[in-house]
Amino acid sequence: MHEMSIALAIVDQVESAARPAGATTVSGVRLQVGELAGVVPDALAFSFELACAGTVLEGAELMTERVSARARCGACADTWPVGMPPQLSCPGCGGARAELLSGRELQIVSVCWHDVPVHAPIHQER
């Protein structure tokens, strides 16, 4: 399952950041998930719980922030919400040179341990 490998990668990244910091209990992880990241939040939450078992993240809460997808036209610089199914041609001029501004995020925003929110210096692109 796709979400399981993502969950394991998150646990791995959080553990490698938490251990040097001396954290023994991680209470929560905040994650940004783009609309086009191809992640099913429920499946990810389920996988996350399994992936956390037996680690410092055991019992940690996964909070996901949905990031909506936006695109910008290369021809007229108009921006629009991409939506589902994705609209990648410009609604203004019909141009097809669209650049995706957001929507593919899949990254850890912050991690909470010892009930203190810590800005995590770790990112997972794409």
Q: Which letter does DSSP use for residue 86 in this model?
A: T
Cβ closer to Zn ion: 15 or 78?
78
Contacts of 86 (CB under 8 A, 6+ apart): 36, 69
Strand intervals (E) in 35-94: 61-67, 70-73, 79-81
Residue 93 marked as a ligand binder:
yes
The 66-105 contact track toward Zn ion, x by CB under 5 A, reads -------x-xx-x-----------x-xx-x----------
> Could you say which residues in the range 22-51 bind Zn ion, by CB under 5 A?
none
Q: Which residues bind Zn ion (CB under 5 A)?
A: 73, 75-76, 78, 90, 92-93, 95
